[in-house]
Structure 1
Amino acid sequence: MKYYAGLDVSVKETSICIVDQTGKICREVKVTSHPDDLIVVLKDPAWNMERIGLEAGPLSQWLFEGLARAGLPVICIETRHTKAFLKAQPNKSDRNDARGIAQMMRVHLYRAVHVKTLTSQKRRALLTARKLLQDKAIAIENDLRGLLRNFGLKVGVVGIREVRGSHSRARRGHP
């Protein structure tokens, strides 16, 4: 018999719902949102997993990578499409969302999204951090220029030596 799982991921816990090919709920459980904990539940030999649905979100790339590495048939699904499907449920909860995602997997009613590789995620994180640091450095420099301008000092050419020189002149001229 084939089984389908739906994962509703939050920062601390993930709700898992496993249904069989007829739609009967076979297991519902909450585990910490870590790939190792999810693998323990989903790799159980009792379940012959056909598809595992995971809604795209902040942790989904990391969880997807861990589950895929373990050989599980995980699919990352589009959030807006999932939201529209789950909106039909009367009670919104993590448990019911996991049930809905499991049913979406069973009836093949989902839109898969591309999950970036771990390498591209790392590169993107480095570029984002670099841009953040550059923006902060420019903001600090502009703040210092504004503070020095109050004392009649105009910082001209931007460079670390020139800025240090301006600070030294400011200390000598104003105690």
Structure 2
Amino acid sequence: MEYFVGMDVSMASISICEIDAKGTVIREGKVSSTPEAVATWLEESGRGFARIGLEAGPLAPWLYAGLSSRGLPVICIETRQMKAFASASPVKTDRRDARLISQTMRTGLYRATHVKTARSQELRMVLTHRETLVHQVRQLSNTVRGTLKAFGLKVGMARGRLFAARVRELTADNPHLSAAAEPLLLARQALLEQLDKLDRQVHAAARDDSVCRRLMTVPGVGPVTALAFRTGLDVPERFQKSVMVGAHFGLVPRRYASGEQDRSGPISKCGDAMVRWLLFEAANALLTRTRRWSWLKHWGLAVAKRRGMKRAKVAVARRLAVIMHRMWIDGTDFQYRKEETAI
């Protein structure tokens, strides 16, 4: 007889439920949130398991790697579907959630999610920390700009290293404003120094990776976008067709078709938000900043003429995702003339 296990994971503990092929609960328990504790609990029964399910979450990659290394058939499942199943019951507990996950393992009513490789997780952490510092620097800059406006002091277009010098110049005649702005300027300077370190790590990682170097041959795609796409896709072979990549990153329109209604909406915005945003930025750079002409820029400007620039940038971002995936699979660089490419 086959046996199935469901796990509801929290930061401190994991609720586990084991059932048989008929859906009968064999045993339940709660252990600490470590792969060793879970593996020990599972191995106590001496039974083999057909499937072991846990929801995608902060601890999921660590638990998945630890349990997989022990030869356990663990599956990381998509959370939105489980949330929809759980909403049918007015009572929500960790124990009930573990039972629900075990039943989905038995019936097969789940959608497995891809767990990224350790290297991709490490590189994504660098990108995430870099993005955090960028937001913090912007927030400090906007705070200084906004507070000085109340005194009629306008920083203007000063950015980067010139920002602090401009603020100090404006507040030089007012010691109170200077004393209030200086701590934020020093904090901003410290963040910029650490941001430079992360930028160097990103550039080094992209330079040392053959896939990233190939992706950067696309106009508008730099080290950050290439590395984000590399880590977001992780394993390109899991997509049978390149056209599926655009939908994976939420760059295709929503659609509602029921009865006599059939309408399309804005893009779904599902999947990796960082990659989606960076692809949009790359599309913007391609259409408005790059000087070298290419078939892709010609196509994007034609879309902009018909539908507007905003829709054109989204369309180019979606096509960039498709092109970059195909380049990765085929091992080819970007071709500026369309007749030279098989895409």
TM-score using structure 2 length: 0.45
Paired AA for residue 35 in structure 2: P
**Alignment deviations for residues 50-83 of structure 1 (CA, whole Å, 9 cap, x no partner):** 1101122332222222222222100112223223
Q: Which residue of 2 aligns with 1:58?
A: 58
Matches within 5 A, 1:23-172: 23-44=23-44, 46-89=46-89, 91-148=91-148, 150=151, 152=153, 154=155, 157-160=158-161, 163-164=164-165, 166-167=167-168, 170-171=171-172
CA RMSD for the aligned pairs? 2.7
**Alignment deviations for residues 142-169 of structure 1 (CA, whole Å, 9 cap, x no partner):** 3334445537574664343662475267
1:15 and 1:162, CA in 2 relative to 1: closer, same or farther beyond 3 A? closer
Paired AA for residue 22 in structure 1: K
Once residues 158 and 89 of structure 2 are traced to their aligned partners in structure 1, the CA distance between those partners, rounded to angstroms, is 62
Once residues 88 and 21 of structure 2 are traced to their aligned partners in structure 1, the CA distance between those partners, rounded to angstroms, is 21
Cα distance, 1:30 vs. partner? 0.7
> SS where residue 52 of structure 1 aligns?
strand
**Larger RCO: 1 or 2 (CA < 8 Å, sep 6+):** 1
Paired AA for residue 66 in structure 1: G
Once residues 146 and 162 of structure 2 are traced to their aligned partners in structure 1, the CA distance between those partners, rounded to angstroms, is 18
Paired AA for residue 103 in structure 2: Q
Cα distance, 1:40 vs. partner? 1.4
Cα distance, 1:48 vs. partner? 0.8
Once residues 100 and 142 of structure 2 are traced to their aligned partners in structure 1, the CA distance between those partners, rounded to angstroms, is 52
Higher strand share: 1
Higher helix share: 2
Once residues 152 and 45 of structure 1 are traced to their aligned partners in structure 2, the CA distance between those partners, rounded to angstroms, is 72
Once residues 87 and 123 of structure 2 are traced to their aligned partners in structure 1, the CA distance between those partners, rounded to angstroms, is 36
Cα distance, 1:12 vs. partner? 1.9
Identical counterparts, % of pairs: 44
Aligned residues: 174
CA contact (8 A) 1:49 1:73 kept: yes
Once residues 85 and 93 of structure 1 are traced to their aligned partners in structure 2, the CA distance between those partners, rounded to angstroms, is 14
1:23 and 1:166, CA in 2 relative to 1: closer, same or farther beyond 3 A? closer
**Alignment deviations for residues 8-27 of structure 1 (CA, whole Å, 9 cap, x no partner):** 11222211011123333221
Paired AA for residue 118 in structure 2: L
**Alignment deviations for residues 110-134 of structure 1 (CA, whole Å, 9 cap, x no partner):** 2212222222222222212111211
> SS where residue 114 of structure 1 aligns?
coil
1:163 and 1:3, CA in 2 relative to 1: closer, same or farther beyond 3 A? same
> SS where residue 141 of structure 2 aligns?
helix
**Larger deviation, residues 86-95 vs 104-113:** 86-95
Once residues 6 and 16 of structure 1 are traced to their aligned partners in structure 2, the CA distance between those partners, rounded to angstroms, is 6
CA contact (8 A) 2:153 2:170 kept: no
1:27 and 1:157, CA in 2 relative to 1: closer, same or farther beyond 3 A? same
1:23 and 1:137, CA in 2 relative to 1: closer, same or farther beyond 3 A? same
CA contact (8 A) 1:39 1:67 kept: yes
Once residues 85 and 146 of structure 1 are traced to their aligned partners in structure 2, the CA distance between those partners, rounded to angstroms, is 47
Unaligned runs of 5+ in 1: none
**Alignment deviations for residues 35-59 of structure 1 (CA, whole Å, 9 cap, x no partner):** 2211211233612111101122332
TM-score using structure 1 length: 0.80
